[in-house]
Structures are given as structure tokens and as C-alpha cells.
Structure 1
Amino acid sequence: MSDPFFQKKRKRSGDARSASSVKLRKRVDDVDEEPLESVEDMDLRHEYTQDVDSDEEANARETPAETKIRLARLYLEGFHDKEEELVDGADAAVADRENITARLQRDVDEGGGKMHIRIASRLAAPLENDILATRGHRMSVTSVCSNVAADSFFSADKEGRIVQWRLRDGRQVCIFPRRIEHTDIGWMPSATSGAARRRARAGQKTKTMQGIVHLEKEQGHTADIYALALSFDGKHLVSGGRDRKIGVWRVETRQKEPDASNTTHFVKFLLGHKDAIRALAFRGTTSELFSASYDRTVKLFDVAQLSYIETLFGHQESIQDLSCLRSDRAVTAGGRERTCRLWKIHDESQLVFRGGAKSKVHMLLEGGDLVDTPSRKNEVHEGSMDCVAMIDDHHFLSGSDGGMISLWSIAKKKPVFTMPLAHGYEVHTDDDGVSKTLPRYITSLSCLPYGDVFASGSWDGSIRVWALHEQLRSFAPLFTIPAEGVVNSLQLITPSIERGSEYPVHPARWRRRGGLHMPLAASGEEESGIRNQASRVSAIQNDPATGRILGHKESIAPLLLAGVGCEPKSHRWKHFPHAHTGTLVVPLWLCRDTS
């Protein structure tokens, strides 16, 4: 016997289905006054009213693999069309540089974080009038910085001051003064005396005066500034030094006219380090800030949120330098530890790269024989790795007090290539009359991000520009730029412009051309500079129709910024009394590619 429960359910479902069909027929009868067809009587076949091979139908039926192939073909067709337009434009050299293979390879390299800006073969040695200079610091310049979209650059000194300069003509825009601690000498200013009233009036005037940032109580640095960094959007400048604090400043880098309103002001201190801050760097286009300190730690901050993120441990000695690019990686130089460390933030790991020439003691500790390990007569031993600069996400450079510049790959624990005595040597005579040959330290390094050019500094009287091998196996010298004194800071950038006329530096408008030792030029001596710049800018190839630069970054002249002083950044063991303190700005113009 069947279960009455299931019989009841079947009866109920049938009644409901019949009731619903009756209601539906009533609605149809009210609207169309035609009976509703049953499902069995309906023709469910689809009749195509358009061609089966139409774009919409084809795209709907294709598999993901076929979609990728179709998009790749469209991508290549676009390159073919662009190449034909360039050839019809009667410039075969431009068409040859813009060929499909080169463009595709550049896209792959840029997406993979590899070197893709190759301009070393077209760099021209700067002329004397191309070496632009500013002088306004009373003590040695320790750091200089700008970014690809800014119209200004910043320089800091051992006095604790920061100065903003305009790239267009080298004029001083703003001064970030040092905060004076009156309590350090046991004196507190009066609030009711006549001098106090005069100071109050001067303070009110300073708030509105163009050129000086007004500091409230507990704002500003009180000691030497060792590092500067400017965010990608140009809105935040960070500074750090001997007072163990990271100062965050709200700045205006797109200022055009001298009488424009200045919105620069102090924002906040980022705390956490227990010793002097040696290096600062923003990660790509983000607001994430890396800081390296003598307390042997690397800290990560978010400047937009004014917040602390995390601390990276690993170094056993004071960190001397730091470098990072777009990816979540940073490279640090460990100083007397003689190591460089690559920090992978996302993976929470680090790679250790050990440098320095081995001595007998090191070889004995590693299992060698003290008797059978003869040392080389002219072997130079590294005592400290002081500089580091990232080339791309997989390669970086390091400089040491042994005068060596080394090229590293993250796939190898030893240097790929080493250049000994990169800035020569000097003869030192001690108190006993014994002469010793000592290499000049590498005091600063900077690489063009994702490019094949880098610069190094020391105190040999010049900045040396080097070219990297295409496969990143070695490097070779290109030319030198005169710079008397100690080169404490270097930066290489490619300005972000679309037309040659938008280049941020106009050498003809600078009054100090030829170096720091040159006097100010009179206003009537600009004609030669105008002709010089016109001939150099003509090497930037533009589209005749739109005026835009062809070749993108490979057709834009890079910009070299240098901070020069009479003594090293954080010490005073060497002094050059005849050297001038200031900054150098050198456009590295490109020659036309005739290949």
C-alpha cells in the first residue's frame, strides 16, 4: 500500500499547479484576450536573425584561450598601424626604434621590474654651461632630492636647515629653518618684555612672508639632517637626521611664480628610531616610507596616514644607506658588517649578500690553511659598505670605503662584477713619515631607475657617470663631471614630460653656470645659454603633428642632482677648506640616434 503522505503531497502539488495556470490564463485573457499555449505546444527553437560569425556571437562562444589570442592579434595590428604611420611620416629612424619587437620587449621588462631604459650609448658629456649650481648653505650639504613630476628640488645641510629651489631658474623658493632649543642653555624667552613683543610681531610677519616656513613649538629639526625623500605626488617631504626623528612636511612643488601663496608647513614627527636616521626612501608611487637608522633597524611607515607599519631586524651594525623602487623590496648597506640585505616585505624574508675581500683570518675561519693562503700584494680590503642603489627589482649596486663598486644579482651571493679603485687613490703620509696608498671612499651612488646609467661620488674632484652592460654583467665609465669637495648625495631621475618644451630645467635662466666655483652671471650673459639649450633640446625628437615626445623615457634627457660639501655627511674626519658648499643640477642631454 502506498503511503498516504506522498499521495497527499502529489494531490496538493497538482492542485496548486492547476490553480496557478488558471490565474495565468486569466491575466493573459485580460491583456491579449488569447488563450495561453502550453509548454508542449511552444516552439523553443532559436532562429538566428544575424550572422553566426558576428563579433558578439563569436566573442560569446570563444574560450578564454581564444580570447587571449584575439586580443594579442588586435595588439599587434595596432603596432602595425602605428609603424606604417611613422614610416609615412618620412622618419625611418624613428620607425626603426619604434618597431614591434622593441616595444613588446620594453613592455615585458617594465611589467617584470627589469631594466628597460637604455640610453647610455646616446648620453653626451655635459658642457661647462650645462653644469648648473646653487649656493645658499653655510655648512656641508648632506642630501638632495626631487621627483619625476616636480618643478622644485630640496637640499639639506649639517646645520639642520632645508632649502627648496626652483628647477626652472635655480632661484630659492623656501627655507625650512632649524628649531633652536633655548632650554638647552638654561634660558627661557620672556613673554612680556619689549623684545618678546618684537619677536611676536616678527613671527606674525613670518607666517605671511614668502620664503620662510613658520615653526610652532616642538616643530622642526634640532640637529644635522642626513636624509631627504619626496613623495611621488610631490605633496610630502620627509627628513631625518641626528635628532632621531622623521619630520613630515606638506610642500608645494608645482609653484610657478615667486609671489604665489606658499602652503608649505610642518605636519608631524614620526618616532620610533633610537639612533640617528641615515636614509629615507618612498616606495614607487605609494605613500609607504622606508627608513634606515644607526640603531640597526629598518622601519616602514605610511606617510599619508601618518602611521607606523612594521620594523625589520637583521643587521648587526649601523645601517649606512637604503634604496627601493616600485616593488615591495628594499636594499640596505650594513656598513662595518660588510653585507647588503634585500628585504622582501610581502614574503617577510631577507637575502644576505656578503662583500669585501677575504683576509687570511677569514679564509682560516672558513676552513682554509693559514700557510697555504698567500695574500695579494695590492689587495684592498673593504672595511665598510656605505652606499647602495637599486637598478631594477633583480639587480643593485654597492659602494664601499675600499673604493670598490660592485654589481649584484639576487640570483647570486657574490658580486657579478667589481670595479676596484673606482675613484682612484691618494697617498697618505703618517706621523712617522711612512707613505701609504689609500683608496678614496665611495660616498654616494645613484642609478637611473630601471635604466642602464648610474653615477658615483667621492672626493676626487669629479662625479663619474657609468654605463651598465646590456645583460647586466659589467659596467664601464662614460664621462666625469667636475665637483670639487665631497659628493655626499646623488640622484638620477627622468622628468615626466610629454613634450620637449616642458623640460623642467632652463639652463639659460640660471645665473650660476659652470659649477660652484663660478661667480653669478650678469643678466645680459644669457644669450649663449639660450643658444646652447636650443641646440640640446633639439635632440629630443617630437612628433611634428602633436608635439609629443617619441620613444617616451628613452628620448628624455635624465637629470642629475648632487649635494657637495667640504666634509663628509655624518663625520668630520676629512675637510676641504677651499671647496664650496652647494648643489649641482646637470641635464644629461642625449645625442640623436643615427642608427
Structure 2
Amino acid sequence: MSSFFTTPASQRKRKRTDERTGKPSKRRDVERSTDRRIKNSEKPQPVRDTERDESISGSETEDEIDPAEVEESEATSEEDETAAERRVRLAQRYLDRIKGEADEVGFDAEDLDRDIIAKRLREDVDEAKGRQFRLIANTLDFENPDHVNFRADTQSTTAVAVCKPYLYTTSKDKTLIKWQILPPNRRHEVNGTLRNGHVGKRKPKQIAYVKGVKVRASAPQQHGHTGAILSVAASPDGKYVATGGADKKLIIWSAEDLRPLKTFFSHRDAVTGLDFAPAQSNQSGFGTQLFSASMDRSIKTYSLAGEDSIAYVETLFGHQDHVVGVSAMMVDQCVSVGARDRSARLWRVVDETQLKFLGDSSRHDEYQTGSLDCVAALPPQHFVTGSDSGAINLWSMHKKKALFTVQTAHGVDNLPPLEDVTSEADPKVIEELKKYDRRRPQPRAITALVALPGTDIVLSGSWDGWIRIWKLSDDKRSLVSLGVIGKPSGEPRVNDIANGEIDVLHNGNERGPIQGVVNALAAFERRKEIVDEFGGKKQGECQGLCVVAGTGKEMRLGRWMKSPNGRNGAVVFEIPLKSDISS
């Protein structure tokens, strides 16, 4: 006997009680909706809706309307009046009406001041974060700068840092010096000749000097470097100076008198790079943020909220070789280069993420990249790197491949004659050896890079004695050469680099005005300080550029390249505006 539970599932479907098997036709639905509207229209309107309609219609009739004005506004044009004249007449009438309303009602001055202040603050924040891109490269006269050499009795300068008007230099003999950069002399014309004044008297003034361990008997801990100082950074607020050395120490100093505040032993190898986060990106109450790079393949962050609140925060790992350079993009974000792992990495500390950019050369390049040695950030999305092959790369955080590459940016060194490097004395043997000579000119490595955030200027240095200027394009996708700084007036004009070809001046062993290897670069704008209508101070237009180059007889991280005629010290270039020359 079969039942509902023993019947197969295919046979126990329940039948519909409604005989209707499908949806009603569209016409039937339309007819029903039409009948419903007809029935609703036969119902009387509510009293409240009628009263509302009467009140609305009554409000239109209560307003007084000038018939002449209506007739004039509805007229398309008056006699002998063109369309343009009619638009001007109507615009004038509109302005008169607005002015009359303002005279009757008035305006709130407090709201107006608040809007102006908010606009100014937005402009300052945009400029600090790189959203405001100021084109100043074409306004500067790089060919006729004032320059002055200065030095102390030290070894090769390894790093420089600027917090205007002060400059900090370090050297291989464990020396840290604080200088004051004096403002440049105004250019003036005498008997039709442009004079620069007594430039030699505008040398930076030495303020403080520290060498080695600064012994204090009453101090519980003796601070100071016991090895070569390789890196230095100055905080944007002008309170702190940080130095890192080959002795694995990172020391925080008071910028006022170079008084040591705290020494960190957190790195396990030499500290090769230091940089502070930009001033505008630091959150109030959290202090200044410091990034440090080391040969132990790590990057560390520190917080400097006060002399009693200097603390280590976090360590970042990822590089496979020595980290030789670091540059801060903004708070909790920096970019670093890892030497022979040929990679640049963008770190986001809060997100605990990193972006890897591989700087390998193409097989079509004449010189292959062996190491990435320099990096400079261009907030908020770009940065520039320099390699030992003489190449300068422009990167964007949204693309893993370099946006633009300049090969052998500082040219190459010609090879010495074979007679000078071989032990053979027989001329016939030397001529035979020349047939098998496979040597190539040596590219000049990029030893220093600096960029001015918010502007279109990038500067690079090498051991050829020149500082080369690069202009960032308007779309931030390429670099254009603007020549060199400090070119003597008697030499021919330096041609721009096109398609990787170097001009004749830089293809030989011609030397520039800088004697020695450029181990470090620092730059800042000289801007006029203006006081707005609310009493606040704000940076005005650009009045020039100050560039500082740290030089030495030896390279910062090695001794394989030496300059016998080099000088241990620094050079300051004051670059004026082109308008100053023409005026």
C-alpha cells in the first residue's frame, strides 16, 4: 500500500488549488489599473488639499509685480541693441540688485575671515604634501651662481643637512659641525658690469663643534661616536640633529648647542641613512618621526616628542643587501634603496606593507646597474634613484617599472692609454695587445641626489666636479636636463642630454668647479616671508635657491675612488632669479 512517504519524489508533487496557470495578460492589468484610476477620480478631494492649493495660488497673486519690468525682461531686445549689449545690461542690473541686498542685509566679517584662513591652510597643506606643484626651474639662473668654498680641519665630508639658516656637516674623523648660512649679497651693477659683491666674506659661520666622544663626568652615560659618521639629518622644527656612524650608533643631539640627548644601539651594523618626516605631515602630539637605514638590511623608526620622550618604535625588514639610503615621503611612509639587491622599496608603516621596485637594467643598456646608491623622495607619489652605472631613474608608486631613465647622467671617464697600464715595454707587443683591448669607458656613478618637494627641481652629483640640474616635467613622467651649476662663463654652453647622448664637455675628463667627490647634497628655497592681513607669517614667492655640496677626497662608503686634487669641505651655491640678472 503506497502512501505519501513511500511515493517517489517525482510523483508526490502537490497540485495547485487555483486553476490559473499563468500571469494575467498585460491588457487585463492595464484595464484594471485604468478602472482603478477612474474610480479614484470620482472620489471627492480632501478639504485640506483644496485649502493648500488655494493658499499657494493666493501667494502668487499677493506679490506686487511691476508691469514695466516684466515687459522689459520678456523682451528679446530693445531697438538697436545687440545680443552682447543686452547681456551686459542684464548683468549690470543683476549686480545692482546684489549690491542693494548687501547694503540692506550686510555681511558677516567673521565668516569671511574664516573662509580666507581655511583657504590659506589648504594651500599650505597642499604645498607640504606635494599636491601643489610649483614650476620654478625656468625662473632660476643656474649659469651665474655665487659660490663659496668653506672647510674645517677634517677628513672627507660624508653628509650634510640643512634646517635654514643652519647647516650641519659630518666627516670620517667623527666630527659634527654646525654652521650658519648667511644670506647672499645683492647683485648690483657698477659701470655697466655686474658685480657680486664680496662673496668671500659670506662664508658660513661656525657655531658649534663636536668630535668623538663628548666626555661628561657627571653624566651617567658618555655619548659620542667612536667611528666615522656616515649620515646626518636635521628635524624640520629645528630642535634635533641625528647622526649615524660606522660604529653602529645613532645619536640624537640638541640642535641648539649639539648637546647629546640619547644614544641608540638598536642597529647591528653601520647606520648609512637618516631622514626626518616632513614638518607638515607630523601629527601634533606625536612628535617628530625619524627613519634610519643600516647595513644590517633593516630600517627603523623613532619618535621624538621631547628631550625626555625619545624612543624607538619599529623595525622594517625586506632588503636583501645593505640599505644605503632612505628618504621620507610623509609620516609613516618612506622609500629606501638596497645597494646590490638593486631594489627600491616604499614602506607604509601603519599598513605594514611594502612595495618593491626592481632597478635592473635592460639588456639593451650599455652599462648594467650593479647597485642602487641614492634616493630622493618627491611626495606624494614619486621618487628618484641613482645607481653606480650613472643612471637616474624616475619612479611612481603606481608603476613597478621606471617612468623615465637617464643613462650615464654625468658622463664617463676616458680610459688611460694602454702604455700606462701594461707592464710591456716592447712597442710591437703593445700594438698587438691593442687589437684585443676590450676595455670600455667607466661611467661616473651617482654619489648624491636631492629633490625639492613641491617643485620641479632635482639635483645630482658625482666625482666629475659638477652638480647637474634636472627639471621634472609638468606631468611628472620625465626628466629634462638644464645643464650644470657653476659653469665658468668662458666655457661653451653645455648642451642638454637627448636620448642618452652626453655632450662633448662631459664625455672627457674635463673637471668642474667642485674639487673632489660630491658625497652629499642639500638644498632649500630662499623665499620671502610675508605677513598676511591676519598677522600670520607665510612663505611668499621664490627669491632664489641655496645648494650645499659636501665634498671629499674619498667616497662616503669606500676608498676605491680617490681624488688627489680634491678638498675636504663643502661648497655653497647661491642661485638667483633670472629677473635679478636682467634688472
Same fold (TM over 0.5): yes
Conservation of the 8 A alpha-carbon contact between 1:215 and 1:266: no
* Alpha-carbon distance change, 77 to 171 in structure 1, aligned in 2, over 3 angstroms: closer
C-alpha distance in structure 2 between counterparts of 1:216 and 1:134, whole Å: 36
Match of 1:309 among 306, 310, 313: 313
The equivalent residue for 1:279 is: 273
Match of 1:345 among 331, 346, 349: 349
Show CA shifts across 1:37-83 (max 9, x none).
Answer: xxxxxxxxxxxxxxxxxxxxxxxxxxxxxxxxx99x9699969xxxx
1:473 correspondence with 2:490? no
Match of 2:522 among 487, 491, 506: 491
SS at match of 2:177: strand
Alignment of 1:459-538 (within 5 A): 459-481=463-485, 482-495=513-526, 498=529
The equivalent residue for 1:177 is: 211
What amino acid is aligned across from residue 114 of structure 1 in structure 2? R
The equivalent residue for 2:440 is: 436
C-alpha distance in structure 1 between counterparts of 2:171 and 2:129, whole Å: 37
The offset of 1:115, in angstroms, is 4.8
SS at match of 2:138: helix
Q: Considering only CA atoms, is the larger Rg found in Structure 1 or Structure 2?
A: 2
C-alpha distance in structure 1 between counterparts of 2:129 and 2:206, whole Å: 40
The equivalent residue for 1:250 is: 254
The equivalent residue for 1:187 is: none
Show CA shifts across 1:362-386 (max 9, x none).
Answer: xxxxxxxxxxxxxx4x621100011
The equivalent residue for 2:150 is: 134
What amino acid is aligned across from residue 293 of structure 2 in structure 1? A
1:161 correspondence with 2:161? no
What amino acid is aligned across from residue 480 of structure 2 in structure 1? A
Conservation of the 8 A alpha-carbon contact between 2:144 and 2:575: no
The offset of 1:327, in angstroms, is 3.5
The equivalent residue for 1:223 is: 227
C-alpha distance in structure 1 between counterparts of 2:129 and 2:453, whole Å: 14
What amino acid is aligned across from residue 124 of structure 1 in structure 2? D
The offset of 1:233, in angstroms, is 1.8
The offset of 1:347, in angstroms, is 1.3
The offset of 1:242, in angstroms, is 0.1
C-alpha distance in structure 2 between counterparts of 1:167 and 1:548, whole Å: 25
What amino acid is aligned across from residue 207 of structure 2 in structure 1? V
C-alpha distance in structure 2 between counterparts of 1:215 and 1:161, whole Å: 21
The offset of 1:547, in angstroms, is 13
Conservation of the 8 A alpha-carbon contact between 1:119 and 1:554: no
Match of 2:565 among 572, 578, 582: 578
Give the alignment's TM-score, normalised by structure 2: 0.63
SS at match of 1:576: coil
The equivalent residue for 1:57 is: none
Show CA shifts across 1:251-271 (max 9, x none).
Answer: 21xxxxxxxxxx431112012
C-alpha distance in structure 2 between counterparts of 1:134 and 1:111, whole Å: 31
The offset of 1:140, in angstroms, is 0.5
Q: RMSD value over aligned CA atoms?
A: 3.3
C-alpha distance in structure 1 between counterparts of 2:577 and 2:536, whole Å: 17
C-alpha distance in structure 2 between counterparts of 1:464 and 1:215, whole Å: 46
Conservation of the 8 A alpha-carbon contact between 1:137 and 1:157: no
Conservation of the 8 A alpha-carbon contact between 1:179 and 1:215: no
The equivalent residue for 2:301 is: 300
Unaligned runs of 5+ in 1: 1-69, 80-99, 181-202, 208-213, 253-262, 360-375, 500-541
The offset of 1:567, in angstroms, is 1.1
1:565 correspondence with 2:559? no
1:121 correspondence with 2:127? no
Q: Which has more strand, going by share of residues?
A: 2
Conservation of the 8 A alpha-carbon contact between 1:561 and 1:586: yes
Aligned residues with identical type, % of pairs: 35
Alignment of 1:312-331 (within 5 A): 312-331=316-335
1:386 correspondence with 2:373? yes
SS at match of 2:415: strand
C-alpha distance in structure 1 between counterparts of 2:402 and 2:457, whole Å: 18
Give the alignment's TM-score, normalised by structure 1: 0.61
C-alpha distance in structure 1 between counterparts of 2:220 and 2:209, whole Å: 15
C-alpha distance in structure 1 between counterparts of 2:468 and 2:519, whole Å: 13
C-alpha distance in structure 1 between counterparts of 2:229 and 2:115, whole Å: 54
Alignment of 1:441-452 (within 5 A): 441-452=445-456
Show CA shifts across 1:185-205 (max 9, x none).
Answer: xxxxxxxxxxxxxxxxxx99x
* Alpha-carbon distance change, 175 to 104 in structure 1, aligned in 2, over 3 angstroms: closer
The offset of 1:577, in angstroms, is 1.1
SS at match of 1:110: helix
* Alpha-carbon distance change, 327 to 215 in structure 1, aligned in 2, over 3 angstroms: same
What amino acid is aligned across from residue 391 of structure 2 in structure 1? M
Conservation of the 8 A alpha-carbon contact between 1:331 and 1:343: yes
The offset of 1:356, in angstroms, is 2.1
The offset of 1:105, in angstroms, is 10
Task: State the structure with bigger RCO (CA 8 A, min sep 6), 1 or 2.
Answer: 1
* Alpha-carbon distance change, 112 to 572 in structure 1, aligned in 2, over 3 angstroms: closer
SS at match of 2:567: coil
SS at match of 1:555: strand
Show CA shifts across 1:301-350 (max 9, x none).
Answer: 11332211000011011111110143321000111001100001121101
Alignment of 1:5-404 (within 5 A): 109-110=126-127, 113-125=130-142, 127=144, 130-147=146-163, 150-168=164-182, 169=202, 170-179=204-213, 218-252=222-256, 263-285=257-279, 286=282, 287-303=288-304, 304=306, 305-359=309-363, 376=364, 379-404=366-391
Conservation of the 8 A alpha-carbon contact between 1:397 and 1:405: yes
The equivalent residue for 2:61 is: none
